[in-house]
Amino acid sequence: MCQLNDSTKKLIKYTLIVMTIMIIVKASYELKWLDVASGICKLESDRNKAIQRISLKTLAFIGLIDSEELFKEKLSGMGWHFVKNYGRGMIFEKEGYEILITKKNYFNRYLFFEVTTREIFDVI
C-alpha cells in the first residue's frame, strides 16, 4: 500500500471535515431547519411580535402555538383574505390569486407557516 506523508493526511482530513460540514448545512437548508431555528431565535428574543417572517429558502412565518388567528390577521393586513382550512393548510385569496399555506407544529410550542404556492412569492 502507498504511504502518505503527514501533510497529505492532514489535507485529506480537513477536506473531509469541510465536505461533511457542507453536506450538513445543505441538508439543513433543504429541510428548513435553519429557517425554523432562526425563527425561534427571533420569537424568543422579541416577545412583542407573536408572528415572525422568515425566509431563507421559502416564504415562511413562525409563531407561538396559539398564534393561528394572529397569523390570519397579519395576512389580512397584507390584503389576503382567508377562504378556508384545507387539511393542515389554509387557503387565502387576493385579487384572484389563491395560495395554500401549510402549518407544522415544532416542539409543541411553535407553529411554522409556509407558502407552498411558488408562483405567488412575488405577490406577497
Domain positions in the chain: 32-120
Query: How much is the average pLDDT of 50-72?
Result: 81
pLDDT of residue 50: 78
Q: What value does the mean pLDDT of the chain take?
A: 82
Distance CA 100, CA 115 (A): 6
Residue 98 above 70 pLDDT?
yes
Residues in the chain: 124
Residue 48 above 80 pLDDT?
no
